[in-house]
């Protein structure tokens, strides 16, 4: 048992380096805000953060299929061959040709509405922030103003809101949904005293709290140099077998955990001699992992055990 713990601890403290051309494939070389796998294609938003960020649909090999110039979204999710976008208090659903299929949600204070005080890439983002799509097309949107996750069916019917008690004193940094419609939420406390990956049922029941702020095994890395920096788990994605891929914000490690939250191993993306800053993760049905960084977009096909 002690030997096994020592091996796991070593894997976290000495993560496996993934290098372009050897371990991972370079798809696009530009700043990536977000990427989501949608069927056999990939949708990403990227470009020059000081100039303009554009949205594209590309093939799995990186070849651009089409730009989506009418959809300048910064935060979106994918599921059931659709793109789900958050903008101005609404959740908009598009097909991969950029046609809007439906829209629901609005700004307000009712249970089925979203507040104005939100944050994703800036401090005044309105409406739903982080989005995640369940296996049957249910949509989950995090509302920062009410500190709740709002649940809609695939047609936009409001099914309820939950998790206020769990999230009321926390910042959310990422969200994903498993095959049973359980929601995984990356969070840290406002006072930065702790950070956890929470697993919550669609009824609002806490199912698990994974990790805590600290050093080494079972912990998310502290920030000693910048007390104002985000901490804990960030963007995340769930694999075919229930394994959890979550970015540790301060180390830029991709932490791999089993479905019960047990740490398995850790990886970093190398950009030259430096560790790349990871901005997004997505996993398709084939098990390919797409990784957005501040320099490039990559695909990675880890071997299944």
Rounded to two decimals, what is the model's pTM? Answer: 0.92
Q: pLDDT per residue over 121-180, tens digit each?
A: 445 556 788 899 999 999 999 998 899 999 999 999 999 999 999 999 999 999 999 999
Determine the straight-line distance between the first and last CA of the chain, rounded to whole angstroms. Answer: 21
Cβ neighbors of 86 (< 8 A, separation 6 or more) are 73, 75, 76, 92, 120, 127, 128, 129, 131, 141
Copy the structure tokens of residue 99. 């046609």
* For residue 39, pLDDT beyond 90: no
Which domains does the chain possess?
2-300 (2.120.10.30)
Q: pLDDT per residue over 101-112, tens digit each?
A: 999 999 888 999
């Amino acid at each position: 048992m002690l030997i096994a713990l020592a091996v796991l601890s070593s894997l976290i403290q000495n993560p496996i380096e993934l290098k372009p051309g050897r371990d991972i494939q370079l798809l696009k070389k530009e700043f990536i805000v977000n990427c989501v796998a949608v069927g056999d294609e990939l949708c990403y938003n990227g470009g020059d953060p000081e100039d303009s960020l554009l949205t594209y649909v590309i093939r799995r090999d990186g070849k651009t299929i089409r730009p989506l110039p009418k959809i300048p979204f910064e935060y979106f999710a994918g599921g059931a061959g659709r793109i789900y976008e958050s903008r101005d208090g609404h959740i908009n659903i598009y097909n991969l040709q950029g046609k809007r299929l439906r829209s629901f949600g609005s700004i307000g204070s009712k249970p089925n509405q979203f507040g104005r005080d939100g944050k994703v890439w800036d401090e005044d983002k309105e409406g739903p922030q982080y989005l995640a799509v369940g296996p049957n097309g249910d949509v989950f949107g995090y509302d920062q103003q009410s500190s709740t996750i709002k649940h809609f069916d695939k047609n936009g019917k409001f099914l309820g809101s939950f998790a206020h008690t769990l999230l009321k004193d926390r910042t959310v940094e990422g969200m994903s949904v498993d095959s049973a419609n359980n929601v995984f939420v990356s969070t840290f406390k406002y006072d930065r005293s702790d950070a956890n990956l929470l697993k919550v049922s669609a009824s609002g029941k806490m199912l698990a709290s994974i990790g805590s702020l600290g050093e080494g095994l079972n912990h998310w890395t502290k920030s000693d140099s910048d007390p104002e920096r985000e901490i804990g788990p960030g963007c995340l994605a769930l694999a075919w077998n229930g394994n959890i891929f979550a970015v540790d914000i301060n180390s830029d490690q991709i932490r791999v955990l089993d479905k019960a939250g047990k740490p398995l191993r850790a990886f970093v993306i190398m950009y030259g001699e430096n560790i790349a800053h990871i901005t997004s993760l997505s996993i398709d049905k084939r098990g390919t992992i797409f990784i957005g960084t501040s320099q490039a977009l990559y695909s990675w096909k880890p071997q299944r055990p």
